[in-house]
Amino acid sequence: MTAVADRSLGPELVRTESIGEADVLVIGLTTSEDGPVLAPADTFEDVLDADTRAALLSAVRAVGAKGKLEELTRIPAPAELGVDFVLAVGLGSLDKLDTEGVRKAAGAAGRALTGVTTAVTTLSGLDLGAAAEGFYLGAYQFTTFKSAKTAPKAEDQPVKRVELLVPETGFGEEDLFRSQAIAEAVATARDFVNTPPSALYPGEFANRAAELAKAAGLQVEILDEKQLESQGYGGILGVGKGSSRPPRLIRIIYAGGDPKVALIGKGITFDTGGISIKPAAGMENMTSDMGGAAAVIATTLLAARLSLPLTVIATVPMAENMPSSTAQRPGDVLTQYGGTTVEVINTDAEGRLILADAIVRASEDEPDYLIDVATLTGAQMVALGTRTPGVMGTEAFRDRVARISQEIGENAWAMPLPAELRGDLASKVADIANVAPHRWGGMLSAGLFLKEFVTDAVQWAHLDVAGPAYNTGGAFGYIGKGGTGVPVRTLIATLEDIAAE
């Protein structure tokens, strides 16, 4: 039994035209100078008539609701609604409300609806897809490793069914299918990230990914440590040689036609830093260092589920970075796949070493686009904080990915690759060093290192999601603590944009 394959799915999402036998009604509030007002729900006048809307508004104002984004207010339900209670969620100012605002509000409501069997909502009247994604992801819980002592009791379990009010039969059917597929893919990525490294080491990670891919009818290839050695994958082997759990490289192919997109994800199942060991404080969060791999695998499966008219080839290197008598040392020189030699100055800059092998291998497929995703540098968080991915690469494609990411709410930001920093990666004994001799522009230097392995012909984007892929703070919107699933939604939106060309 595997945690990822057997995880509990999120709430059932269905369209409905009436409140029916729901336990809870979720409505939206917006702010105004005169206090909160009900969000526009003109399409639901048959469900919430004028008198009912007036009663709801009076009740939320009486208890001090403001309508601020994600604010939650629970009030008694008017008898005619037939629900146990009403949950009002703030949407902020109506003139500033966008798709992401609906998604965040739905997520906040989804997190709050524990112990509820069925909820029905009017938020779907604002944006059906965003409401569906928000409720599903907000309700997400990862409890696979909880024993009976600490597993959520009935009153703490997530909502089981969310009914999304729509104006007529058939309305939004394709939107709901797409949004549920996206939400489930994000949840799959979260599950991978949240699974502890004792249960998700390279061999097991590759096997679980292969299980999901084969179930979806996709082509799968896994290279073990012997095949990696015989084929010259020096970066992956160098990083993984300190662990008793040998590395892997998995390739998953969805053949949906032209163009061809290569996706690459960093799969360090746990990162101690190796001989250049990390401080003990917070090291447990390095279970998330395979967040890029998780996102890439989930996105490839999602592209197949959505039948996108393009080909996606995922090349995912997996290793565990451990210190031992067999680990690589600072000062070692390794030979990457393709022949480039690298002086390892810092063994904690390991992600770029396994990515370099994967980039060269992926380039042999002659893709039109290449996107690599990694929890790569602490410098990403220093520069952009914990919620904003950095995007580097060929300028036009970099800007395109950043724009798309901002449109769907993951908010990646375009970053430069300054030519003057490349000289700082010079090595006295090898073709290139894996780090610069200073801490300035660390995210950018990592991008410049990867650029050395990208062919000139391909349109390339590198996403550094070191902070955004894992939330160590409190829950917000549709993001809980732990794995976030970033940047699955950016990747699938980019693939859809490419397919639409």
Q: What is the pLDDT of residue 454?
A: 98
Tokens 């396994």: give the residue.
Answer: 354
The CB density around residue 177, as the number of other CB atoms within 10 Å, is: 15
The two tokens of residue 173 are 């059917």
Q: pLDDT band for position 41 (50/70/90)?
A: low
Name the residue type at position 12. Answer: E
pLDDT averaged over every residue in the chain? 95
State the Cα–Cα distance between residues 485 and 106, nearest whole angstrom: 17
Q: What is the pLDDT of residue 168?
A: 73
The two tokens of residue 322 are 């451990």
Give the CB-side neighbour count of residue 197, counting CA atoms within 13 A: 23
State the Cα–Cα distance between residues 499 and 69, nearest whole angstrom: 34
State the Cα–Cα distance between residues 48 and 50, nearest whole angstrom: 7
Phi and psi torsions of 435, nearest 5°: -145, 160
Q: pLDDT band for position 397 (50/70/90)?
A: very high
CATH topology of domain 12-167: Leucine Aminopeptidase, subunit E; domain 1 (3.40.220)
Contact 492, 303 (CB under 8 A): yes
Going by CATH, does the domain composed of 182-499 fall within 3.40.50.970?
no
Residue 68 is a catalytic residue = no
* Dihedral Cα 47, 50, 51, 56, nearest 10 deg: 70
Phi and psi torsions of 29, nearest 5°: -120, 140
Average pLDDT over residues 396-406: 98
Q: What is the pLDDT of residue 42?
A: 60
Strands 85-93 and 24-31: parallel
What residue ranges do the domains of the chain occupy?
Answer: 12-167, 182-499
Contact 333, 370 (CB under 8 A): no
Residue 278 is a catalytic residue = yes
Share of the chain above pLDDT 70, in %: 97
Cα 274 to Cα 25, 79, 151, 445, distances in angstroms: 52, 63, 34, 20
Q: What string of DSSP letters covers 174-204?
A: HHHHHHHHHHHHHHHHHHHHHS-TTT--HHH
Contact 456, 473 (CB under 8 A): no
Q: Which residue in 161, 278, 387, 451 is the catalytic one?
A: 278
Q: Which residue in 15, 352, 400, 489 is the catalytic one?
A: 352
Q: What is the pLDDT of residue 4?
A: 43
Q: What is the pLDDT of residue 45?
A: 77
| 207-220 pLDDT tens trace | 999 999 999 999 99
